[in-house]
Structure 1
Amino acid sequence: MDFRNGKELLELCGQTSLSISQIMKQREMELQEITEQETDRKMAKSLDIMRVSAKEPLGNEISSIGGLIGGEAKKLDKLRAEGKSLCGATMSKAMTYSMAVLEVNASMGVIVAAPTAGSSGVLPGVLLALQEELGLSDEKVMDALYTAGAVGYLLMRNASVAGAQAGCQAEVGSASAMAAAAAVEIMGGTPEQALSAATGALSNLLGLVCDPIGGLVENPCQNRNSIGAANALLNAEQALAGIEQLIPFDEMVQVMYRVGRSLPFELRESALGGCAAAPTACGMSCMSEKR
């Protein structure tokens, strides 16, 4: 059940009449030589960690190590509870949970890197919002996590998910692609639609720079996780509607990687360019260091 690219993954799905999640689960079982129960146990643990990290900051406000973020997710949660959200329940929850996870990450809490710590809020944000709004079982969400894992594996194998290598497009962009594909499978879409949604998600965030203020994975990282979640949902909906991407998934993965490698060093997690180089940001960085 191994596959090296999106084309091979879709061929496997076609030959076996299995979903992406089923293919990925079998691949994990074969490579690790473990049972389905053990594989599911590990995935269930990841889901539990995701849920805790997405909900904890909503009840107990958390301040980050650098002091640049903390409490943003709780404010979004309050706005939705008051019926003032502009984005609707699903999108609002996805944004809230994605930002909450970054608060946990920035305070040295436990998160699931999906695919990285800096982009760890996107996938749980999308999946937990869908679970609550659609009344999905944990088993259904775990299937979606396998699908996300397949996309993440392909991005790591054929490109990069590191901001220092290819900018934030490789971190939040990849996370958004993973979440978009997962959302499509949750909604009953085909493997082709899942990869189409992932392609669109990558395309929309192409060229996104990595410019953490003060070198801390706090801001603008937190806001970009909410963008990644929103981007995933809109691309999933477009794919489910039958809107196709002109560029195949495998080609878009290569496009993303080439664009990332073309970014100047200052825009690849060096904290020397972009938002990090703004005078106000430099001042905030110095204040953070003094604290």
Structure 2
Amino acid sequence: MCFLFDSFEGWKTYSQTHQIPLYQAVLEYEITQKGASESDIWSGLSQAYQVMKDAVHTGLTEDMKSRSGMIDNGAKKVANSDITVLSPEFKQLIASALGAKEVNSCMGRVVAAPTAGASGILPGVFTTLQSIHQLEDQKIYEALLLGAGVALILEQKASLAGAVGGCQAETGSAAAMASAGIVYCLGGSIDQIFNAVAITLQCMLGLVCDPVAGLVEIPCVVRNASAAAIANSSAQIALSHVSSVIPVDECAEAMGEVGESMEARYKETALGGLAATKTGQALAKRILIQDIEIMDQSESTEDN
């Protein structure tokens, strides 16, 4: 019988009792519950990570301008900026997260990890981490499995969908997954891994989902970059033996409670927050008119 991922405390106990790493419990779950073979799982992780790396590369090298015009090659602008706020590595992290998410906004191929709206976070974090610490791909695959276990629990205790729990459920969950992976890759203990998840959730708690014009572009893209930064700061804190104070399971439950009490206008409806600002409304109107004109042109071409 495999572990069913109903709590972080249970996951810890199961792993310690069976003397296996956290990711191994997720591997068992996939084999037992999904009927997948171990070789297929590792192959799937390899393919997923390659798509993540490709998305980062595409975002940093190709034209990333969305049809709405709201996304306009932000990743390349960051990467090529003459100003470095903290370090070249930090700039690489931000540019990589932006780049992968811009690929999604420009209708490119990404990995929904755990959602397409948060698809820049894990790629940005793991490709940068791998570059800095010269990690083998296999270590990243294990970190991805670990992240999947985090997502399984968050899905039960809260949500992974912006339409259910706000942006905390999407970028917050992805950042928690990434932070857990960082700590694991750098040799952290189970307690440090789960502290990183808890600290990340504390930092992301209450974030609303307010996509301008209903598109997963603004503020979604820049939130991927900021969530990637939070994932790294949480990992650094946890690896330094700083306690989250509030246990990780309670943090996850708090995220669920906040999501349930959040008004509908803050849950991917584009009725509140930035979407409801004067500029947000003007952009929505312009994009709607633009789409109607494109449809009219298309119909006219077909008639001719």
TM-score using structure 1 length: 0.95
When Rg is computed on C-alpha atoms for both structures, the one with the higher figure is 2
Q: Deviations over 1:166-198 (max 9, x none)?
A: 111111111111111011001000122111101
Shift of 1:270: 1.1
CA distance in 1, matches of 2:130, 2:197: 20
Q: Residue 271 of structure 1 aligns with which residue? A: 270
CA distance in 2, matches of 1:120, 1:204: 19
Check whether the contact 1:24–1:149 (CA below 8 A) recurs between aligned residues.
yes
Shift of 1:249: 1.1
Check whether the contact 1:65–1:108 (CA below 8 A) recurs between aligned residues.
no
Q: Describe the SS at the equivalent of 2:50.
A: helix
Q: Describe the SS at the equivalent of 1:255.
A: helix
Aligned length: 288
Q: Residue 102 of structure 2 aligns with which residue? A: 103
Q: Residue 114 of structure 1 aligns with which residue? A: 113
Check whether the contact 2:98–2:225 (CA below 8 A) recurs between aligned residues.
yes
Q: Residue 166 of structure 1 aligns with which residue? A: 165
Q: Residue 300 of structure 2 aligns with which residue? A: none
Alignment gaps of 5+ in structure 1: none
Q: Deviations over 1:74-133 (max 9, x none)?
A: 111112xx5x32132332222111111221111211111111111111111101100111
Q: Residue 27 of structure 2 aligns with which residue? A: 25
Shift of 1:8: 0.8
Shift of 1:5: 1.1
Shift of 1:29: 2.0
Shift of 1:66: 2.4
Q: Does 1:6 align with 2:5?
A: no
CA distance in 1, matches of 2:143, 2:224: 19
Q: Does 1:157 align with 2:159?
A: no
CA distance in 1, matches of 2:34, 2:86: 42
Check whether the contact 1:68–1:288 (CA below 8 A) recurs between aligned residues.
no
Check whether the contact 2:158–2:259 (CA below 8 A) recurs between aligned residues.
no
Shift of 1:31: 2.2
Q: Moved runs in structure 1, 4+ residues, more than 3 A?
A: none
Q: Does 1:46 align with 2:45?
A: no
Check whether the contact 2:22–2:146 (CA below 8 A) recurs between aligned residues.
yes
CA distance in 1, matches of 2:222, 2:116: 14
Name the amino acid aligned to 1:46: A
Identity, in percent, stands at: 34
TM-score using structure 2 length: 0.91
Name the amino acid aligned to 2:276: A
Q: Deviations over 1:188-217 (max 9, x none)?
A: 001221111011101111111110000100
